[in-house]
A and B are shown apart, each in its own frame.
Chain A
Amino acid sequence: MAADVHKKKGWEVPNGSLAPGDGQHAERAESPTPGLAQGTEPGAGQEGAMFVHTRSYEDLTSPEEGGAAARSPPEGPGEPPAPPQPSSMEQISKDFSELSTQLTGRALGEEGPLEAAPAAARRDSLLPAKEDEDVTMDAWRLRRKHVFVLSEAGKPVYSRYGSEEALSSTMGVMMALVAWSPLPGSPVVFVRRSPLVLVAVARTRQSEQEIAHELLYIYYQILSLLTWTQLNHIFQQKQNYDLRRLLAGSERITDNLLDLMAHDPSFLMGAVRCLPLAASVRDAVSTSLQQAKAKSLVFSILLSGNQLVSLVRKKDQFLHPIDLHLLFNLISSSSSFREGEAWTPICLPKFNSSGFFHAHISYLEQEMDLCLLLVSTDREDFFTVSDCKRRFQERLRRRGVQHALQDALRTPFYSVAQVGIPDLRHFIYKSKSSGLFTSPEIEAPYVREEEKERLLGLYQYLHSRAHNSSRPLKNIYFTGPRENLLAWVTSAFELYICYSPLGTKAGAISAVNKLMKWIRREEERLFILTPQTY
């Protein structure tokens, strides 16, 4: 199988824990529990997709810039059908004992951010070196990332920290970089999207690839305000145009996006999280939304925090998760949407980077964290669209689901304790075919902000290892001083679990099995299985 040759190529396994025969990715995906083939995994939509079909996060990179390389090797369409598989438990266990790559905290410089360095170094030295990666005493609280956007002519467009005034030239940016002195070895990542150049210098442990993805999000964020067409037009007219004039007042939206990406796994997963909601309630909400339609409406989206409650779309029109993330970001970046009704032009760059939609944004009720977003093609249609909102609310009332909805909003996150696996602390599960993921609330011991970020950092690290363009890993077993993690990436889903450092690998494997069953049982509540159209 050609695909397998491709997969194996470049797999260096320092500790030799990876069995030679790695020819079972695709088959394995189908085997362990019923429905792990793409489209039948837990969380996969039952009646078609809601989003543009995205394989994963890599879709961020369009083909022209190494996107193809970043993509996981094709799961050869010509592959023979899977051979009969052993029972799920056995299979998972086999995968992880034979095929997993064992990583340790050491690889991550993961030795207690806020602890004294000597202690950390000591612990470090006790850990067998398994991966040849540079180790630094990087304090997690210094997880900071400088981001600059410049025009190709070198004019500053955006700077995350410090005023662009001071950075009024490429030279200024370089000076700032030097003054800030990134850690030795931290990459300076450039992404060029003519007419813009985006630069990041990070103290994070993210891979260059992931930082590049974040920069692309920033690029799309800028497009969402201007459209690609307008942006190009401007610079064709005047090469050294000062784009800050046009972007004035929206730096905050970009700031917010960068902060959000550091906290919310949605961006990392390239997927959307749903508000846990009883299927009957969600259906009633979706139907109400569906009925409150208007000719010019393309998408009706109800969201709570950064979780999706319901999405109704025009037939044949698919939203891209990235566009939805940009909408989430827009909404969370401005408290003013809570007041009145907003009507704003917005470009959804993955959908159509050359034109504006017009978004009607409002909260349903002041105290409720429930934001309605109606995306229209007609800028003159404010009153029609505003009326859709009124009709939607009326229908909700008539269906009597408001209370159930309110209840659900009171507990927007579920506890990992519900799964009933004692050592399990947290997990992220993504269904690839639906572009949706689920994840419990982050609980103790990840209470403080930097602890939460550290956990996300661990996921980021595993994610980058799993998606590394030259050495993608399918099964990763990570042991760190404070927790163990396990990552499992198949053609149908991605699963990352975090569990107690005392838990054994065997324990983790049985946890995966239980967890998958639990997700399957709860999938109606955790995902949107039947996406609606108008």
Chain B
Amino acid sequence: MEQTATPNAVASTSLDRTHPTYTYKVVLLGNTSVGKSSLAYRYVKNDFKESLPTVGCSFFTQTLCLEATTIRLEIWDTAGQEKYHSVCHLYYRGAHAALLVYDITSKVSADRAKLWLQELEKEFFHDEIVIALVGNKADLAAEREVTTEEGEEFAQSKSLLYMETSAKSNYQVNELFTAVGRSVVVDECWAAPAQGGAAAGPSRGPAPQRPALAAGRTAPRA
């Protein structure tokens, strides 16, 4: 079943259980300084730095063990600056999941996340991508401008995953990525047949699946 979803992943079959079988692309979107890089850094390095200015795109990988399988997440983080848009917006093509991050202390950033959602909706069909709305900086509750309810409601209305996090205090960061990982795996199982023929590109060893980087997905899934 999953084999058909990512035909290039055969390389890993002979390896032990902890070796990730499939790779999924996760992109971080949102206003500058909402904490995208901090979330990635917290998740991948379990650490926090006050300053992590992003230039262009950053790429991280992290292995995620789920109950049934082990997957690899390819996490893409962008500077989100306008000058990079022309070049970097293609970075979310082919993504399996997108994290729309806002800062709970900034209403503006939450509105911006909604704009990102519209943009994603132009690129992807609804069931092609897992989208999570993430209210970061939950540790700054005193300065909150966006209530949990607001976030939750909006997420629900658009059927997005929703989570409040704090990269700083390490609140729900692992949970966020795990939930997203679980969700893409489920989605992939579901959508496998529609995907089968698409990934005919050259094998790239450990990080196989990337048909969409060049082509983008076109067909809606069953």
**Does A21 have its Cβ within 8 Å of any Cβ on chain B?**
no
The stretch that binds A, out of B111-119, B132-140, B164-172, B207-215, is B207-215
On whether the beta carbons of B56 and A383 are closer than 8 Å, the reply is no
Near A by CB (< 8 A), chain B positions 41-55 give 41, 44-45, 49, 51-55
- Distance from B99 Cβ to chain A, minimum over Cβ atoms (Å): 15
From the candidates B32, B58, B210, name the one contacting A340 in the complex (CB within 8 A): B58
From the candidates B40, B52, B81, B204, name the one contacting A335 in the complex (CB within 8 A): B52
On whether the beta carbons of A330 and B53 are closer than 8 Å, the reply is no
**Does A225 have its Cβ within 8 Å of any Cβ on chain B?**
yes
Residues of B within 8 A of A248 (CB): 32, 81-82
**Does B21 have its Cβ within 8 Å of any Cβ on chain A?**
no
Q: Which residue of chain B has its CB nearest to the CB of A248?
A: B81
List 11 A-B pairs, Cβ < 8 Å: A247-B83, A334-B54, A336-B37, A340-B58, A342-B57, A344-B56, A344-B57, A345-B56, A358-B87, A380-B90, A383-B213
On whether the beta carbons of A335 and B49 are closer than 8 Å, the reply is yes
Apart from A246-B83, A247-B83, A383-B213, 7 more pairs, CB < 8 Å:
A245-B82, A246-B82, A336-B52, A342-B59, A379-B87, A383-B210, A387-B205
- Distance from A372 Cβ to chain B, minimum over Cβ atoms (Å): 14
On whether the beta carbons of A336 and B59 are closer than 8 Å, the reply is no
- Once A249-B32, A335-B51 are accepted as A-B contacts, the answer to whether A342 and B81 lie under 8 Å apart by CB is no
**Does B125 have its Cβ within 8 Å of any Cβ on chain A?**
no
Residues of A within 8 A of B207 (CB): 383
Residues of B within 8 A of A379 (CB): 87, 90
**Does A308 have its Cβ within 8 Å of any Cβ on chain B?**
no
Q: Which residue of chain B has its CB nearest to the CB of A360?
A: B59
Q: Which residue of chain B has its CB nearest to the CB of A340?
A: B60
Q: Which residue of chain B has its CB nearest to the CB of A345?
A: B87
What 0/1 pattern do residues 305 to 336 of A give for CB contact below 8 A with B? Answer: 00000000000000000000000001001111
Most chain A CB atoms below 10 A, which of B59, B81, B205: B59
- Distance from B133 Cβ to chain A, minimum over Cβ atoms (Å): 23
In the assembled complex, the Cα of A333 lies from the Cα of B204 at a distance in Å of 32
**Does A343 have its Cβ within 8 Å of any Cβ on chain B?**
yes
On whether the beta carbons of A336 and B87 are closer than 8 Å, the reply is no
Chain B contact residues: helix, strand, loop or mixed: mixed
From the candidates B40, B55, B83, B214, name the one contacting A342 in the complex (CB within 8 A): B55
Residues of B within 8 A of A334 (CB): 53-55
From the candidates B55, B79, B84, name the one contacting A337 in the complex (CB within 8 A): B55
- Distance from B86 Cβ to chain A, minimum over Cβ atoms (Å): 8
On whether the beta carbons of B45 and A339 are closer than 8 Å, the reply is yes
In the assembled complex, the Cα of A226 lies from the Cα of B86 at a distance in Å of 11
On whether the beta carbons of A225 and B83 are closer than 8 Å, the reply is yes
Near B by CB (< 8 A), chain A positions 127-156 give none
**Does A235 have its Cβ within 8 Å of any Cβ on chain B?**
no
What 0/1 pattern do residues 193 to 222 of B give for CB contact below 8 A with A? Answer: 000000000001101001001100000000
Q: Which residue of chain A has its CB nearest to the CB of B84?
A: A345
In the assembled complex, the Cα of A392 lies from the Cα of B83 at a distance in Å of 31
On whether the beta carbons of A339 and B205 are closer than 8 Å, the reply is no
In the assembled complex, the Cα of A358 lies from the Cα of B86 at a distance in Å of 13
- Distance from B25 Cβ to chain A, minimum over Cβ atoms (Å): 11
On whether the beta carbons of B58 and A339 are closer than 8 Å, the reply is yes
**Does A500 have its Cβ within 8 Å of any Cβ on chain B?**
no
- Distance from B41 Cβ to chain A, minimum over Cβ atoms (Å): 6
From the candidates A250, A361, A383, name the one contacting B81 in the complex (CB within 8 A): A250
In the assembled complex, the Cα of A250 lies from the Cα of B83 at a distance in Å of 10
What 0/1 pattern do residues 70 to 105 of B give for CB contact below 8 A with A? Answer: 000001010101111001101000000000000000
Residues of B within 8 A of A397 (CB): none
Residues of A within 8 A of B84 (CB): 344-345
Residues of A within 8 A of B87 (CB): 345, 356, 358, 379
Most chain B CB atoms below 10 A, which of A334, A356, A358: A334
- Once A337-B55, A340-B44 are accepted as A-B contacts, the answer to whether A387 and B204 lie under 8 Å apart by CB is yes
What 0/1 pattern do residues 360 to 397 of A give for CB contact below 8 A with B? Answer: 01000000000000000001101110110000000000
**Does A123 have its Cβ within 8 Å of any Cβ on chain B?**
no
Most chain B CB atoms below 10 A, which of A330, A333, A340, A361: A340
Q: Which residue of chain A has its CB nearest to the CB of B77?
A: A340
Residues of B within 8 A of A208 (CB): none
In the assembled complex, the Cα of A91 lies from the Cα of B204 at a distance in Å of 62
- Distance from B143 Cβ to chain A, minimum over Cβ atoms (Å): 22
In the assembled complex, the Cα of A386 lies from the Cα of B206 at a distance in Å of 12
In the assembled complex, the Cα of A333 lies from the Cα of B54 at a distance in Å of 10
In the assembled complex, the Cα of A246 lies from the Cα of B79 at a distance in Å of 12
From the candidates B52, B55, B75, B90, name the one contacting A330 in the complex (CB within 8 A): B55
- Distance from A295 Cβ to chain B, minimum over Cβ atoms (Å): 13
In the assembled complex, the Cα of A295 lies from the Cα of B214 at a distance in Å of 17
Most chain A CB atoms below 10 A, which of B51, B79, B210: B79
What 0/1 pattern do residues 245 to 277 of A give for CB contact below 8 A with B? Answer: 111111011000000000000000000000000
Residues of A within 8 A of B213 (CB): 380, 383
In the assembled complex, the Cα of A383 lies from the Cα of B84 at a distance in Å of 19
In the assembled complex, the Cα of A386 lies from the Cα of B204 at a distance in Å of 11
Residues of B within 8 A of A345 (CB): 56, 84, 87-88
- Distance from B127 Cβ to chain A, minimum over Cβ atoms (Å): 26
On whether the beta carbons of A380 and B214 are closer than 8 Å, the reply is yes
Q: Which residue of chain B has its CB nearest to the CB of A246?
A: B83
From the candidates A226, A335, A380, name the one contacting B83 in the complex (CB within 8 A): A226
In the assembled complex, the Cα of A346 lies from the Cα of B54 at a distance in Å of 14
Residues of B within 8 A of A384 (CB): 204
On whether the beta carbons of A336 and B83 are closer than 8 Å, the reply is no
Q: Which residue of chain A has its CB nearest to the CB of B87?
A: A345
Q: Which residue of chain A has its CB nearest to the CB of B56?
A: A344
On whether the beta carbons of A335 and B53 are closer than 8 Å, the reply is yes
In the assembled complex, the Cα of A226 lies from the Cα of B83 at a distance in Å of 7
In the assembled complex, the Cα of A342 lies from the Cα of B57 at a distance in Å of 5
Residues of A within 8 A of B49 (CB): 335
On whether the beta carbons of B37 and A343 are closer than 8 Å, the reply is no
Residues of B within 8 A of A356 (CB): 87
On whether the beta carbons of B56 and A342 are closer than 8 Å, the reply is yes
In the assembled complex, the Cα of A413 lies from the Cα of B204 at a distance in Å of 40
Residues of B within 8 A of A450 (CB): none
From the candidates A225, A247, A343, A359, name the one contacting B59 in the complex (CB within 8 A): A343
